[in-house]
Structure 1
Amino acid sequence: MPKPIESPPSPRVTLIMTVRERHQPTLSAIESVLSNTVMPFRMIYADVQSPPWLSLALTELGQRHGIEVVRFDQHRWPQQVRKALVAQVETEYVVFLDNDLLVYPGWLENLVACADQTGAGLVGPLYLWGDGQSKPVVHMAGGVLEETPIGASRLLVDRHQEQNADLDQVADRLERRPCDFLEFHCMLFRRELAQDPEMFDADICAVHEHIDTALLARRKGYGIYLEPTARVLYRAFISTTVEDLPLMRQRWASSAVESSIAAFCAKWNVLPDDRSFGELRKYTRNILARNDPLRPISVLADLNLPLRMAELSQTRAGLFDLAQARGYGPSELALLNEACALASRLLDGGFRPCGRPFVNHLIGTACVLVRYDLRIETVVAGLLHAAYTHGRITGSNDDRAEIARMLGGAGSPIERRVRAYTEHRWDALEGGQTLTVDQAELAIIEAANEIDMRYSGEYEYSGRPAELSANRAQALARVCTTIGVGGMAQTLDLALRQVRPVATGVATGIHVSYRLDAEGRPQSLHR
């Protein structure tokens, strides 16, 4: 007789994926799980305010692969989503995953094997981090908590073991072992622990939710294990899209960070000062500094107000007065000072087509960027945006390598931005494609450049025809509005619409930037 058809084994694990700080990497994260997981599993994706394109793709992916998509139309923190969804779990284990990771073959099977063999309540993989392109390094091989009693309270310092180590150099000493904490990039729970009413504290939602989880598990008698044969890649350094900026800002807002720290400290009797949380605060600030074109402390309401022509300064003193008034700090001002000196050196004796000194245009561009609180690297790149195209040291074509060195070296934050502005291709801008923050910064510099030229009368007083098309101007304005500087979009519109009467015979008739030769004749600066 024919053998009866065997039903596929019931899954022992439910995977719940939540949004960490970006929507963009979601689909590749899901595809990674589908491609690199052999054992049966149930998967739930928490669709929290996904953009329309992603919601549609998730629906299609769910239909093809049996992924359950649970939609949340209001903002929910990952901890709140985990709390809401864990009640649906019926399997022995549940694994919580962030939506910006990639998994390696065997990841789930090895996590489950560790839980089976050790009886652990929590199991985590070896966490790597990188950009998904270059070779990753270790993010954490299990966490260590260092407690120091201070009077009736205590300090609690968390440390990532082997952080930033080359995996090839440490692989031989990595082994399954107990640890003090894991992270929600990827963390396996026993179901009974995950469904404990005390788990997933709604007040500890932005930071230290993983430490709260570990302390609670330990208090309830559960073991916590690192399983290094299970590996995942946290893609911390991928490019952030402009579309994801609001989520990124919300996720790492200092108010949310401090609220979570306060709730954690009250719950676990920990002092809230920087001895315990200094590195954490620095880390969250750096995330925003790395991903947001605006300065993290920018909270001024006037970002949505236009800059009037009379407010635009084109002098060094005016630039520094404005930067100090906007709250740029000592290190930022020092960098700006160096950039001003370099701009003066590279463009010494140079003039714009309208006859004004070239450096005035550069300072005017930087002033627009400072007025709208762009981060200092973007301001400096705006100030030096013409370094490669118009800068001169010896006058030879060999200047480019020396200019790169003066900008901080090839690939440095400033040099990279200036080079990108020089070499940029703008199909994505006018084609309506999603821009990365890096691309948006170039668009913002271009908008500031155009505002300065319009407000200074460069086109009228040179006779040079304007080059910015209406479509391009609209695209630049959209970028300004999207990143949160609607006032700059209004400024660009005002600058484009202004009409400046010019008396007959006073326009220079010169259409390129120039220096005067020994006979007083204009010679083009452009390479």
Structure 2
Amino acid sequence: MFGGAPPRMLRLARAARDLLAADGTCTVADEASARLARALVDAGMAHPVAVPDGDVPSACDVTVVVPVKDRADGLRRLLAALPGGLGGVIVVDDGSVDADGVGGVADAAGARVLRHERPLGPAAARNAGLAAATTALVAFLDSDVVPLPGWLEPLLALFADPAVGLAAPRIVALPPGPLSRIDGLLARYEAVRSSLDLGPDPALVVPRSRVAYVPSAAVLVRRTAVGPGFDDGMRVAEDVDLVLRMHEAGWRLRYEPAARVEHDHRTTPAAWWLRKAYYGTGAAPLAVAHPGSVPPMVLSPWSAAVGALVLVGTPWSAAAAVAVSAAAAQRLARKLPVRRPRATAARLIAMGAVGTVAQTADGVTRHYWPVSLAACLLSRRARRTVAAVAVAEGIVDWWRHRGRDASVRPGLLGHLVAHRLDDLAYGTGLWWGALRHRTTEPLRPVGTGS
């Protein structure tokens, strides 16, 4: 079996293979099937699809914590969407100017109100609610989200597994009104390409994998797993920091897109661009606190060579990239204990090469765009290469994401422009954060050693 998070190969014994049904499912019926299910789920090669009802926590085991600052209308909308039967709702007013307005909305909904006299940040507000909660599970919901009906049940089911410490829903765009459609270039782009939307497929949340983090805008945690909670010294990326700490502590973290929460995305140009740049500034403190966990690129020696050769952009460099890939496939084939090692190795190397090209394109247009700009000022070939990469990567990105929201049909040109601005904003924040923290750690690629 190939897959997982991070990707790996597992060789199943015949007894284990016999426990898998024809459709690839494994039903836990005894100790052997339980061990197999645990191994596959913990490796990210399988996802739980059903658990006995008696093992699943209920809504009364959940306290919802809402940090808010001067967003009474959003708070009212959120509280009205919460299901009944919850173990409690705590609203933490983080120094709102209109404290009476926020308090009045919370009181009308029967929520408990905690107040910070001055703003301490969303991490500190969530921690205050966490400390006041007494239920086994705590759901953090920001005041700009609206949980859709049925959002809680798929998350609760995951906590039937005692190893799960955190579960997160999919965050999608909030339409502007009951009968409105998402419109405007940035609104359409965010509906299919938001940094908060981690896609339609369930996943184990693991650093340096497809789903490496989950946003704290909507997340359900086991109270005993998070300790004191978020790092309240961080004003950005505190959610990624929590994920990394929980992963290091051995907890299983899951992303479940069957649970859906709508988010009121920023779509005015200045606010949107500054928010993207703000996200980028979080890479530096994360890289310092968790070295190697949030790299801009993850490359093996052969894939780094392929990426460099692709950027050269000449016929001989393309031929050399193919030769390097072929050599890597031959080397891998000698190590694979499978029936058709050469064909399997060729497929794996081809998949790796595609990933390498994608990472290289991201590096050119996103993480290292100041370097790309400097190269363009000095070289005509560099200008052609960067332009080709920017256009080609944008087209591929539009094609991959264009169907994420069935109500939105983003145009290619608009998506391409927004995507390039998105990358410029994040890269700007990334470099600014690195300069402000006086570190190159968030700019360093890491190697896999193979």
Q: Same fold (TM over 0.5)?
A: no
Tell me the TM-score normalised to structure 1 length.
0.38
Tell me the TM-score normalised to structure 2 length.
0.44
Larger Rg: 1
- By relative contact order (CA 8 Å, sep 6+), the higher-ranking structure is 2
